[in-house]
Structure 1
Amino acid sequence: MAAVIPVVTKLSNRVIRILGCNPGPMTLQGTNTYLIGNGRNRILLDTGDRDVQDYQKNLAEVVKAEQINIEHIVVTHWHHDHIGGVENLYGTIAKQPQIWKHKRDSSDAPDSELPNTLPLNWLADGQEIKVEGATVKIHHTPGHTTDHVVMTLLEDNILFSGDCILGEGTAVFEDLYTYMKSLSKILELKPNVIYPGHGNIIEDPTQKIEYYINHRNQREEQILDVMKKNMEKKFNEMDLVKVIYVETPEQLWPAAAYNVSHHLKKLTKENKITYFQVDGENKWQYTASRSNL
């Protein structure tokens, strides 16, 4: 069982973690939000869900106790449990912060998570944001979502991983190909420690990142193995989940099926499996290698 995360934790002289008070199957104990810096003006990374009064109360108490001003709000990505609280905080707990987020891909739906009345600044890969006692660097890491960013605290080489890497379990993603590239990018950063968007601190970052990479590769091998052993059968995502994810709680099977679907799309592009529509349902079948003779 994962260690319980307190609602407020001073992780270092530069970082305070405030739990989003929004637990659930996908959010674990809740969204981790972080106040960064050690002077009056600080950065808030992520804001939890909208209208969570316990979170707002806890954050307000920290702001008052530390006598600080939230100068910047940085959002790792557009999901509601990271961006939802911005509207509650702007003009109240955070008086007039600069709000930062990376643009979504042009193929995505337009950005509409925040009201047009709130100012929104676009993040760039490699951008740095500075406050007293802290300099953070932005790294665009698409895959979980097209706009996802992680952030390094340069003074301590701490990585804030958002939903790319979690404190427990593995992450879901929109695109496996870009997600794998982002994991390799994070591995190259060689952080000393990871502060994730959900779950506890990761003290062995290299081992964790390599596990994520190896895990996805192993899942792909498992999918191919099941399909190869049943070459005459056409599988949908849930067929494969029931065979491969036997140790995963059943309530998480839909999320597992979502990940499997992305593996299947990747394998289809690589001509390792074949896609069919059977009675309006998506199905895949192992593609037997053919001799060129």
Structure 2
Amino acid sequence: MVRRLLSRLRPWFASLFAITVGLVFVLQSCAGPDAPSANEPSGDEFTERMAQEHQDDEPIATDAALQAPAVEVTSQTVEYATVEGQPVTGFFSQPAETEAPLPGIIAIHEWWGLNDNIKAMTERLAGEGYSVLAVDLYGGQVVDQPDQARQLMQGVMQNLQPAEDNLLQAYDYLVNEQQASAVGSIGWCFGGAWSLNTGLLLPQDLDAVVIYYGQLETDPAILAPLEMPIAGFFGGQDQGIPIAMVETFEAALTELGKSAEIHIYEEADHAFANPSGTRYNPEAAADAWEKTTAFFAEALRDE
């Protein structure tokens, strides 16, 4: 573990500024466009808009969310980190029958917290042949009201270091405790922004990044250190993550020579892959899932 931590010192310092810059926008990841001009809403207004957009959502695991994994999996609560002196637990899942160490995936929850929807998605990913750790950035708190979710997310944003430490230790857990042969990240909305920023935290170590409608960093200088392939899934009707931002992000990665595949579903809105949300789009969600599993298979298992 010491060797791995030492090997990350250079990427860490090179990326520290990038993380700080990139994550100031996470509060907008579920509802607001990029940095507001004089005629655009402030960050607080973006947060209010997000609360309004989610006001009819019921973040509980629906039948659509509880699709059975492709193979039988085993799941458990595990302690994977210590942040600010407190133990952090997450939801860990992997195939029930496995012999060799598997590739690992860090799964990052939406603004509701580590709820049953995310746990169900974790098990579906595990069923594809991975050791999946769903992290908890909220210290065990899970909510179902937009006002509560807004407060939790703001708490994370007011002090980024604990979340960064959390994700770095999640990576170490998969590598050192589970002997993962490769590690990728995936996140939705709030978690989508953190998935990208996990790549910025570990630009030479992380092996794949998947972003579902998360706030994007578009500055080529900040994106330059990334060495892993990236996949992104966005809704064409998403007012919070506008297509112009997505296209700028894709263009920056292309100009930098990065491996990236960006998918925009023209008729889909924000959170189109969340079965418990009012904007769930089953066709777009199914296609994105198929592309996600194919992407991870190639990036993490070289299939």
* Relative contact order, higher structure (CA 8 A, sep 6+): 2
Q: Which has the greater radius of gyration?
A: 1
TM-score above 0.5, yes or no: no
TM-score, structure 1 normalization: 0.32
